[in-house]
Chain A
Amino acid sequence: MSQIIIYTIITLVAIGATAAIILYFVAQKFKVYEDPRIDEVEEALPAANCGGCGFPGCRNFAETLVKSESWDDLFCPVGGNETMSNVAGILGREAIEQAPTVAVVRCNGTPEFRPRVTQYDGAPTCAIAHSLYSGEGGCPFGCLGLADCVVVCDFDAIHMDPDTDLPVVIDDKCTACGACVEACPRDIIELRKKNKKDRKIFVSCINEEKGAVAKKNCSVACIGCSKCFKVCKYDAITMENNKAFIDSEKCVLCRKCVLECPTSAILELNFPPPRKKEPVEASETETN
């Protein structure tokens, strides 16, 4: 009995040893030289494999970083400037800084503002619904609420709010990889510059229809009245195709346009509530 075991072990060890020797020489013969820096760079990348850089994965991006001469179009949105400077350190090059961005949903068509006039019953993806009709609220530019953006997010940074039927971006988790921007058939999601304390001001509507038509479907639609454009002192607002757009690079968050907008289409997020001293005190005394 023990003999059988011993012979088996000896045979297997012999086969293993022979194979190992053969494989060693084969490996030497067919060795492919790979720049060791690629591994190092890959190590420094966040390993999210999200495709936000435009390459199929972190490995592929690392190869490109090592090989390419110019880094103009190369940036890891997930790792941001920190990762890029680490990579630049490994390769002994200069990193190109880019301002961090975050995804912003430019539609505020909640059932309250944009009443649902039809009911969609087809395949539950935005891409198909978009090819079929304008949407449950009748706005051909508005959010369809079928969560294509949520499905593609690798970072759990976006979820649907059941009350508003709109996607909500969690700023801390969003890496600005751009997957949701690609997925949205209506280009509602935009990557905008990240500000201090995640403050942002943006036109939360991309409707290009005439004011009256847009307003009929949705009470918070941008009607293209140009009031915000006139009040902005920093040339941050442009009017095009019947809608306003605020350039996040130029905007200084002065909040003047927010007050000016007649349809409340311009949203301000994460700002402290406006200070109105007297009414607050009055209400306090009442409650006391």
Chain B
Amino acid sequence: MSLKTFSRGGVHPPEHKLSAGSKIIELPPPEVAVIPVSQHLGAPAKVLVNRGDQVKVGQLIAESSGFVSTNIHSSVSGKVLKVDQFMDSSGYRKMAVQIQVEGDQWIETIDRSDDLVRNSVLPAEDIRKKILEAGIVGLGGATFPSHVKLMVPQGKTAECLIINGVECEPYLTADHALMMERTEELFSGIQLLMKGLGVEKAIVGIENNKPDAIERMKDITKGSNVSVQGLKVKYPQGGEKQLVKAILKREVPSGGLPIDVGVVVFNVGTAHAVYEAVMKNRPLIDRVVTVTGKGLEKPSNFLVRVGTPVSSLIEKTGGLPEQTAKVINGGPMMGKALSTLDVPVVKGSSGILLVDENEARRKEVKPCIRCTKCVTVCPMGLEPYLLMTLSEKSLFERMEPEKVMDCIECGSCSYTCPCSRPLLDYIRLGKAEVGKIMRARKAV
């Protein structure tokens, strides 16, 4: 088996996959769930329930409010306590529905049996409709509504579906666990996505630090038009543009999407959710979350209802270790520290990482020594040191021609900088400002 990888940039952070091999543990619903109405990219969903309403698991509580938006379902059954602003992982209070959990009643249409349903007779259009209804978003972390991705814009054709099982972020093992334990369902989900998209070919990309997952997927997909591609370990291979380059050697143009080169990329978690939605009528109400960290007693993969507070997840792994300095939502490279543990798990939470003082502390920032390490590792071929300087000096209009909007925020530059400069922080600021400039120009 030849191993492929993307050609430009990349880093090799230590893997620390502490929870690898641990089974997915299904957690009971929390006592009180807080379900934000904006768990996806795009417009927040419109709340449909009021204070005091009784809801069931799987009931629609907020509906899609635009093209790039999606539905939100209750992940628990009980009484709506409040529809108000609650702190979420963004660090700000956002609109959410708080539900007091009473029992675990599901709506009748959901098939809760473990029986595998294969061979769908649904036409492509119905598959897309079901995906929208189920509120499925990209579970790799970007939370882009999946039904939008399935609608190929006019003038473009999709030739190939890529399933992202790379999981290149250190520490995280949620996708790995899913590939090991829900292989059949995943395979069925991939076939549904292929049908929904109208493509004949699908490739699953998996890094070769997960040989068991590669093996398992190969066994299952044997004889079908889904193939498995092992990949050399390199961060950020899970970025969709990097993955397309690694597998198909096609370069997504600047400012473009994979569909510009005839490819659509979905995460394995998304494919699994698609199976659940289409075959079992089960909306996206839970997801696999890795809770990990060196100080934890037993780092694990949990199947968690959306809306469960992060604090209760940490309790399930043996409690918050005393030396914890930061709790990060996501992986160590792209994740963001939480300012409080009373935030809910959302559709995009792939992991909760606890780091101690030693790992967490940022080193003293020293002046740039022009070593160009950041330029070498940037997988998008940008010049992070320049972008940071421009952003520091508020020269945002000069950042646009430097292609700041192509930055995928992988953090390779900040990781590699010998002077511990906060490159990505400033580039993100620049991206936000350039975005504003571009929108203002569009509006004129």
Q: What chain A residues lie within 8 Å of B360 (beta carbons)?
A: 121
**Selected contact of B425 from candidates A123, A133, A209, CB within 8 Å:** A123
Residues of A close to B362: CB separation below 8 A: 121-122
| Interface mask (A119-131 → B, CB under 8 Å = 1, otherwise 0) | 0011101011001
Within 8 A of A (CB), among B45-86: 85
B residues in contact with A13, CB < 8 Å: none
A134-B85 contact, Cβ under 8 Å, with A121-B360, A121-B362 = no
Query: What is the CB-to-nearest-CB distance from A9 to chain B, in angstroms, rounded to a whole number?
Result: 46
A-contact 0/1 string along B334-345, CB 8 Å cutoff: 001101100000
Residues of B within 8 A of A117 (CB): 339-340
In contact, A133 and B92 (Cβ under 8 angstroms): yes
A123 touching B432, Cβ below 8 Å: no
Residues of chain B with a CB closer than 8 A to A128's CB: 422, 425-426, 428-429
- Per a CB cutoff under 8 Å, which of A118, A121, A133, A209 touches B361? A121
Please, which residues of chain A bring their CB within 8 A of the CB of B339? 117-118, 133-134, 138
- The answer on a CB contact under 8 Å between A133 and B429 is no
Contacts of A140 in B (CB 8 A): 92-93
Q: Give the interface residue-count category, chain B.
A: 20 to 34
The verdict on B381 contacting chain A, using a C-beta distance below 8 Å, is: no
A133's nearest neighbour on chain B, judged by CB, is B91
Asked if A252 is an interface residue, CB under 8 A from chain B, the answer is no
B90 CB within 8 Å of chain A: yes
Q: Which residues of A contact B90 (CB under 8 A)?
A: 133
Interface size of A in residues (CB-CB distance below 8 Å): 16
- Is the pair B426, A123 in contact by a Cβ cutoff of 8 Å? yes
A121 to B338, CA, bound (A): 12
Given A122-B425, A127-B429, A140-B93: A132 in contact with B85 (beta carbons within 8 A) = no
The answer on a CB contact under 8 Å between A131 and B93 is no
In the complex, the chain A residue whose C-beta lies closest to that of B388 is A123
CB pair B429 A131 closer than 8 Å: yes
Q: How far is the CA of A3 from the CA of B116 in the complex (A)?
A: 108
Smallest CB–CB gap between B22 and chain A, Å? 30
In the bound complex, how far is the Cα of B340 from the Cα of A150, in angstroms?
Answer: 29
Contact check, B428 vs A131: say whether CB atoms are below 8 A apart: yes
Given contacts A117-B339, A122-B362, A213-B93, 14 further A-B contacts (CB under 8 A): A121-B326, A121-B360, A121-B362, A125-B429, A127-B429, A128-B428, A132-B91, A132-B336, A133-B91, A134-B93, A138-B339, A138-B340, A209-B85, A213-B85
**17 pairs, CB–CB < 8 Å, chain A vs chain B:** A118-B340, A121-B326, A121-B360, A122-B422, A123-B425, A123-B426, A128-B426, A128-B428, A128-B429, A132-B336, A133-B90, A133-B92, A134-B87, A134-B91, A138-B339, A140-B93, A213-B93
